[in-house]
Amino acid sequence: MRILGLTGGMGMGKSTVAAMLARAGLPVFDADATVRSLQAENGAALPAIARLVPSAVHNGHLDRAVLRQAVVTQPGVLRQLERIMHPMVWAARNRFLAHYRHIGTPWVVLDVPLLFEAGGNRLCDYVMVVSAPPWVQAARVAKRRNVPVAEARKLIARQMPDARKRLLADIVIETGVPFAQTQRQVRTLLRVLKA
């Protein structure tokens, strides 16, 4: 079994490309969906998050606004939160890989926003970065988060720069182009993988 890593900054269109790959029949491990599941009502991560930020968890529910505020205002909370979440996400990823390796799937996709930052790229045979021009990315993030473009740019600036991800990638999929062009890029990639 071979592993295709899929990553990209916020607002780059990674979820759209992941959906295309899934529709083409490739199993996709979605790290963001795994985090949401772990943090959902009575999720497995909530007891540890409650110990870290007690006011963020009430009756089995996570108050994301309180957690976000703690991350922004209290030094070290983000790192401690990552220490809680990363091992749980990695365990889910390892179960996903073991399952598809056991049934003999030729290719799987690891859709992980922090693939390079967390070292997950070392597991991958190829890494694909989804990328768009900075103005497109900022506009998408601003719209999705309902914040001004200047605020979106600040959020983006916290991430690994797109230029660095592009340099580290084996494949770059452009999404700041008409949708049909992105689809053609993905179809070309799928032909290469199947070959």
Summarize pLDDT for 106-155 with one digit per residue, the tens.
Answer: 999 999 999 999 899 999 999 999 999 999 999 999 999 888 999 899 88
Domain ranges in the chain are 2-27+105-194, 41-95
Please give the pLDDT value at position 41.
94
Q: Is 154 annotated as a binding residue?
A: no
Residue 30 contacts residue 37 (beta carbons within 8 Å): no
Are 55 and 44 in contact by the 8 Å Cβ rule? The answer is no
Pairing of strands 57-58, 61-62: antiparallel
Distances from the Cα of 27 to the Cαs of 1, 4, 30, 92, 144, in angstroms? 12, 10, 10, 14, 26
Residue 15 is assigned to a ligand binding site: yes
Q: What CATH number does domain 2-27+105-194 carry, 3.40.30.10, 1.10.287.3510, 1.10.240.10, 3.40.50.300?
A: 3.40.50.300
- pTM score, whole prediction: 0.90
In order, the DSSP letters of 179-192 are: HHHHHHHHHHHHHH
- Is 8 labelled as part of a ligand binding site? no
Q: 20 among the known binding-site residues?
A: no
> What's the pLDDT at 73?
85
Neighbours of 56 (CB within 10 A): 23
Backbone angles phi, psi at 127, to 5 degrees: -120, 130
The CA-to-CA distance between both ends of the chain, in Å, stands at: 14
Average pLDDT over residues 29-40: 96
pLDDT of the residue at 112: 95
The share of the chain scoring above pLDDT 70, in percent, equals 100
Question: In angstroms, rounded to a whole number, what is the distance separating the alpha carbons of residues 61 and 55?
Answer: 11
Q: What is the pLDDT of residue 158?
A: 84
Q: Rounded to the nearest 5 degrees, what angle is found at the Cα of 134, between the Cα atoms of 128 and 135?
A: 135
pLDDT, tens digit, for every residue of 39-75?
A: 999 999 999 999 999 999 999 999 988 998 898 788 8
**Each residue of 177-186: pLDDT tens digit?**
999 999 999 9
Return the closest-CA partner of residue 163 out of 3, 8, 1, 6.
Answer: 8
Asked if residues 191 and 40 have their Cβ atoms less than 8 Å apart, the reply is: no
85 labelled binding-site residue: no
pLDDT of residue 30: 97
Nearest to 139 by CA among 183, 181, 176: 176
